Amino acid sequence: MGKSFLACVLALLCLLTPRSSGRVLDDKPTDEGKGADFKGKTVEMKDKDEFSILLEFSAGKEVIATTKGTKETDVNLFVYDENKKEVGKDTSPGPLCEVKFTPKNDGKYTLKVTNSGGTNKVTLQVKVAK
């Protein structure tokens, strides 16, 4: 009974363990420095994947953040200030997103990109007014 019982317990644990649909992602955004110096980032994303970056912006200078994907999946873009308050988002269908915002204060902002509907190679770009 010992080996059979152990095998059943292991099988049950395997069934109850949550499965990841993509790679394991850290909830903590990667710090990419100053937004004006950011050269863009391209990420191979699986279904239900996401990534976040942290960029520093100056108050009063308009920022335009965009995404584009190589495939027709649903990509979304969210922007949060240092207090985790949403300052902009684009949740329209498809791989193209655009969020325009003007920071009220100097500080670091989190840009979060999500993907659903299959794998996609997604590029995040940022333009800052001079």
As a whole number, the mean pLDDT across the chain is: 86
Q: Sorting pLDDT into bands at 50, 70 and 90, what band is 18?
A: very low
pLDDT at 47 over 50: yes
pLDDT at 1 over 80: no
Model pLDDT, residue 24: 36
45 close to 22: Cβ distance less than 8 angstroms: yes
Both structure tokens of 35: 């937004």
Domains of the chain listed by start with CATH number: 22-128 (2.60.120.380)
In this structure, how many other beta carbons lie within 10 angstroms of the beta carbon of residue 104? 10
pLDDT at 32 over 80: yes
Model pLDDT, residue 130: 85
Dihedral sign for Cα atoms in the order 128, 76, 105, 39 = negative
Q: Sorting pLDDT into bands at 50, 70 and 90, what band is 79?
A: very high
What is the C-alpha separation between 22 and 120, in angstroms, rounded? 12
Dihedral sign for Cα atoms in the order 42, 88, 34, 112 = negative
**Whole-model pTM?**
0.79
124 close to 66: Cβ distance less than 8 angstroms: yes
